[in-house]
Amino acid sequence: MLSLRYRIALTLLPQLALLAVLGGAGVFILHNLSQRIDRILRENYDSVLFMQHLDEALERIDSSFPFALAGRENEARKQYEVNWPIYEDNLRKEENNITLPGEGEAVRELRDLSNKYRAKAEGFYKRPPADAQRPNDYFGSDGEHGKADPNNEGLLGLFKRIKGVSGKILAINQTNMEQESKDARETARISVIGFGIGLGIATVLSVLLAWQTTRAILQPVREVTESALAIGRGNLDQVVPVQSHDEVGQLADAFNTMARQLRHYRQTDYSRLLRAQRTSQATIDSFPDPVLVIDLEDHVEMANPAAQRLLGVAGSEGTAAALAWRPPEALREPLRAAIQDQRPYLPEGFERVVSFTVEAREEAFLPRILPISDPYGNTLGAAVLLENVTRFRLLDQIKSDLVATVSHEVKTPLTSIRLALHFLLEETIGPLNPKQLEMLVDARDNAERLLGMVNRLLDLARLEGGQSPLDLKPEEPATLLLAAADTIRPRAEAKEVTVKVDVPPDLPPVSVDAGRFGHALNNLLDNALTYTDPGGQVTLTAAATGDTVTLTVADTGLGIPPEHLPHVFDKFFRIPGQSSETGTGLGLAIVREIVTSHGGTITCTSTVGAGTVFNIALPIWSNPTTAAATPNPGISPTPGGA
């Protein structure tokens, strides 16, 4: 018995052979047609162009003689000398392109007439402009008086005879082109009919062979399909009869083996699956923090006791009656991204905490959302872990309050020390020797640096505590950027760094406290200038994106290594080894707090050696009454509610 492979080959080979014959015939016919078209273009069409160009030059030559008779000698002679080479060039090309019967005799006649015409024309122009013989040279003896004299044919007569011969050559080539075109159309018509007949035969043969092969294959495939559908419905007691030993028979045998294995697995692995499910539930139940497993329809598949107490949810355990879980507002978008895009959500800062009321007290949880996928990359759901960080948040608040208190207490004596140092340096109390002056200058610089650090700590504490309300007003992005650039420009010019502001017109105003936000921009520009070498550039731009306006501060400085990018907005963080200038590491932390208090976001991208870009997205001014009354929330509002 023939195998399925050979049956399919026997079905396809006749079709392939017929297609090869039709293809070869098509190639031959197309090659023949292309040769005819090429011959028409190369031979006849070239001759037509030569004669047309020759006639145009001849008419311009002929028109030069009346100009000369009218007294425009220079213009006439110039026109004659310009067009005669064109005439000769096209005549020579035609002499080298004689391809049709009768064309050679006409070309030779054209050459004889052209030589006579040239000789007559040269004689015409050799005569003085006022010579009375010139009209006879052009019109001949029958031009204006006297009878026609065949021996004294004028330039006009020769012109007409040349036109007649060139027209004859043109007609010979055009007639041949029309005949060749008819022949090509006839060949194409016959070819189309032949191709149609061949394709019809191929179609009929293909249908017959395909029907015969399909009939031999379809029945066992249908039986395998019906059995597979039955297995999919849970009926594993399926056996497909093996009627042959070809590939279809092997498929049926393999299917029967698979069905036997599935029956065996169902009998032996059910207990394992149940034990694995119980182990998974016991594992998440052991977590002290709430843990949930969400499926693709937002149903809670598993939930540990901590999650059930906090959120009031329970695992569905595979039932279809479970209701979809409605997460807090702050978790909806991260959960959607984890399920649809397999994007994990792993925040680190306290600004991302979610608050819940537990036993009449508010507790803070830091969410962790991880997508769950199978070995093939298909998303199965997401795991949600709510880490209780209430104690850590309280400790952070205590630390911030302690820093603010200490900074406030240190500021008063530090101000007195700074004032005393200034008095001593001004020598109002008495003169100083050089060593005393050097030590006092150093003490003054350290006092100024310490006072700046204290002021930054106090600013950060006030921002985090929300102690200062914002005076939100509509401000033009261009005004904000230009003011910040003007503040930093003297220092930039001293360092030979260019500051460029490029803001498009007609940007909508943003809702900001100009003084507070200007402080944030100054911090960013100060950072950019610190890490940009002389000859570099700092660029400030703005662009509208949806309901926000994005302000960008970009420099061509050192750049930030990728491993340090996640920490640039952390308090007291400084990139190791990048700058010899002293600092507190609070500047970018203050910038983030100011931007967040305005309801905006700030991001940082950087390439080592190419520079750093900070993007600040601010809301567009839309509701003056509401916006002006909005207080400074400090850290972004904590989402709450179960």
CB 367 within 8 A of CB 354: yes
Distance CA(617)–CA(545), nearest Å, equals: 9
CB 458 within 8 A of CB 584: no
Whether residue 31 is found in the same domain as residue 142? yes
260 part of a folded domain: no
DSSP-derived secondary structure for 117-134:
HHHHHHHHHHS-TT-TTH
Whether residue 433 is found in the same domain as residue 481? no
Which residue is associated with the tokens 């007409």?
A: 160
Distance of CA 422 to the CA centre of its chain: 60
Nearest CA to 552 out of 588, 584, 525, 515 is that of: 525
CATH number of the structural domain spanning residue 177 = 1.20.120
70 part of a folded domain: yes
The two three-digit tokens of residue 589, written as one number:
């932390």
The two three-digit tokens of residue 518, written as one number:
């200007």
CB 111 within 8 A of CB 91: yes
Hey, which residues does 385 pair with through a beta bridge? Answer: 291, 368
What pLDDT score was predicted for residue 145? 43
Whether residue 432 is found in the same domain as residue 496? no
Nearest CA to 2 out of 306, 171, 244, 165 is that of: 244
Whether residue 624 is found in the same domain as residue 566? yes
Whether residue 455 is found in the same domain as residue 516? no
The two three-digit tokens of residue 521, written as one number:
């921009």
Helices assigned H by DSSP within 40-152:
46-69, 73-95, 103-126, 134-139
Whether residue 366 is found in the same domain as residue 399? no
Distance CA(230)–CA(232), nearest Å, equals: 5
Distance CA(472)–CA(618), nearest Å, equals: 12
DSSP-derived secondary structure for 175-202:
HHHHHHHHHHHHHHHHHHHHHHHHHHHH
pLDDT digits (tens, 9 = 90+) for 357-405: 877 778 888 888 989 988 888 888 888 888 888 876 666 666 555 555 6
Q: Which one of 362, 388, 414 terminates a domain?
A: 388
Distance CA(268)–CA(271), nearest Å, equals: 7
Amino acid type, 548: T
Point out the residues of the chain with pLDDT beneath 50: 143-149, 318-321, 624-642
Whether residue 166 is found in the same domain as residue 116? yes
DSSP-derived secondary structure for 8-27:
HHHHHHHHHHHHHHHHHHHH
CA distances to 342, 369, 384, 618 from 294, rounded to whole Å, are 13, 10, 8, 34
248 part of a folded domain: no
Q: What residue numbers bound the domain in which 525 lies?
A: 469-628
The two three-digit tokens of residue 294, written as one number:
């969400």
CB 155 within 8 A of CB 124: yes
Whether residue 452 is found in the same domain as residue 568? no
364 part of a folded domain: yes
What pLDDT score was predicted for residue 556? 92
The two three-digit tokens of residue 32, written as one number:
């023949």
493 part of a folded domain: yes
Q: How many domains does the chain have?
A: 4
DSSP-derived secondary structure for 497-559:
-EEEEE--SSPPPEEE-HHHHHHHHHHHHHHHHHT--TT-EEEEEEEEETTEEEEEEEE-SS-
What pLDDT score was predicted for residue 458? 62
Whether residue 44 is found in the same domain as residue 148? yes
CATH number of the structural domain spanning residue 556 = 3.30.565.10
Q: Which one of 157, 187, 217 terminates a domain?
A: 187
Phi and psi at residue 467, to the nearest 5°: -85, -20
C-alpha torsion 127→129→130→135, nearest 10 = 70
What pLDDT score was predicted for residue 270? 59
Whether residue 66 is found in the same domain as residue 164? yes
312 part of a folded domain: yes
609 part of a folded domain: yes
Contacts of residue 42, Cβ cutoff 8 Å, sequence gap at least 6 = none
Whether residue 418 is found in the same domain as residue 482? no
Distance of CA 152 to the CA centre of its chain: 81
Distance CA(434)–CA(149), nearest Å, equals: 127
Distance CA(1)–CA(148), nearest Å, equals: 101
Whether residue 405 is found in the same domain as residue 551? no
282 part of a folded domain: no
Q: Which one of 365, 388, 411 terminates a domain?
A: 388
